[in-house]
Amino acid sequence: MFKTFQTYKMLFLRLILIVGMIEISIYFFKTELLFTGVFGLFIVFLLVREMYFYVRNFVLLYDKTIASILQNDFTSDFSNHKFNKSYNDLFQLYDVLKNKQNEQVSKDIIYRSILNNIETGIIILQKQDSDWNVFLMNEYFSKQFNVPKVSKWKYLRNQLPSLCEIIEEDDFQEIKTSVEISINEQNKQTFVLQASRTEIFEKDYFIVLLDSIQNVVEKKEKDAWVNLMKVISHELLNSITPIRSICQNLQDLVEQDSLSAEDLEDVKNSVETMLRRSDHLQKFVEGYRKLAMLPSPKKEKIELQQLIDNGIQVMNPLFKENGIEVTNEITFKRWIEVDAQQIEQVLINLLTNCIHALKNVSQKKIFISAEAKENRTFIRITDNGNGIEKEIEDKIFLPFFTTRNEGAGIGLTLSKNIIEAHGGYISYKSEVGNTVFEICLVEA
């Protein structure tokens, strides 16, 4: 506001000066001082000309700056005009918007670089009037589906009709499904399709993500093998390292000419240690064999209530010994087709897990419930124990992972493998004051 006032003040002073010179020139003409009057008019002409160029330059500079801002063109250099304080506010606005524009461009470059390096097909559509345009397509999508980076939805539909038809059928609404896409007339590949719609600053966007199921499975298999190798190498080194050290010590002892009573005691302790570590290693290998050589389930029809009762009956002595109250909340009859022995083993493993979770709880309770939905049967085993720490939640189904000194770490892994062999799944969740393991069995 102050700078604008200064500009108006400068214009007003120029007008006053011009008017004053005109009055003086008229006075000289009236007093018949013609040459002096003409000289005065010449001065007035120079002042008017200077004022014209001042106003013109002022207006042109404002127009140029405002046009640059409106067109997002921040390449102009106004450094030659910055000495003039009348333009301070204008140049300050220009610099602020220029910095914001540069920051936004930098962010766009970074975001696009991130999206282009993600191994997931990403395409973002933007709605304009009643049509959809391609707002962004990452490199992976373009290369994976051999699609040029088109700008119109109709061009994309010509390239990938199988994908676009599914999206159009759902009227560009949220989708989560699998889709088979043929690329370059090759065999069809299966992809996981996830799509969502969002509105930003009154503009409608549709985001599509495509993951190759093969890539997802391979990544999970690779991660599983890496974790398994870490566990196996850890267990082997824990046994082999002390055994090698003991063998070295025994070699030094037997090379002596004679053995003292103390040396004999060392030999005895060393052999006992090697036997203990060998037994541990043998149990570890047996556990691995049990996981790796799980037989295919021999399914037969059995009543759900009977299956649960058999599991509780096996564990009943341990429940009484540990003072645990077990409540079977299943009230309906349902026949399921499973390998009874394998599912019973799963129930025993989960109930054993509950017993250890209730070790430091005063009122120990276990609840067993079930729910039937169409061809799915859900069995839930809940305890009021301390639960599983968040840091290890993603590791509880890993082979040989255990937090108990006496545990082998295969109970939950074996249970998971058995349920998956039945075509179902097992999951864990923590509720308020409760820990829940849920088994889902799917009827064929």
Residue range 193-248, pLDDT digits in tens: 888 888 887 888 999 888 876 666 566 666 666 666 666 666 666 667 777 777 77
Q: Mean pLDDT: which of 85-89, 217-221, 296-300 is highest? A: 296-300
**Token pair 């994908």 is at which residue?**
163
Q: What residue type is 299 in one-letter code? A: K
Tell which CATH architecture fits domain 216-292: Orthogonal Bundle (1.10)
pLDDT of residue 48: 83
Q: Which is higher by pLDDT, 192 or 386?
A: 192
What is the CB neighbour count within 10 angstroms for residue 135?
16
pLDDT of residue 164: 85
Q: How far apart are CA 324 and CA 287, in angstroms?
A: 28
- Model pTM? 0.43
Strands across the sheet containing 364-373: 324-328, 364-373, 376-383, 434-442, 425-431
pLDDT of residue 1: 43
Chain centroid, CA 29 distance in Å: 88
> What is 119-214's CATH number, 3.30.420.40, 3.40.190.170, 3.30.450.20, 2.160.10.10?
3.30.450.20
Fold adopted by 300-442: Heat Shock Protein 90 (3.30.565)
Tell me whether residue 151 is exposed, middle or buried, using C-beta atoms within 10 angstroms of its C-beta: 0 to 12, 13 to 18, 19 or more: exposed
Q: How far apart are CA 424 and CA 5, in angstroms?
A: 78
Q: What average pLDDT does the structure give for the chain?
A: 77
For 236-263, what is each residue's pLDDT tens digit? Answer: 666 677 777 777 777 777 777 777 777 7
Q: How far apart are CA 160 and CA 181, in angstroms?
A: 8
Torsion of Cα atoms, 80 then 86 then 87 then 90, to 10°: 180
Query: 119-214 and 216-292 share one CATH topology?
Result: no
For 60-80, what is each residue's pLDDT tens digit? Answer: 777 777 777 676 766 666 655
Domain range summary for the chain, segments of one domain joined by +: 2-100, 119-214, 216-292, 300-442
Name the helix (H) or strand (E) containing 439. strand 434-442
Q: How far apart are CA 339 and CA 347, in angstroms?
A: 12
Q: How far apart are CA 68 and CA 57, in angstroms?
A: 16
Check pLDDT > 60 for residue 5.
no
Cβ neighbours of residue 276 closer than 8 Å, sequence gap 6 or more = none
DSSP-based three-state secondary structure for 76: coil
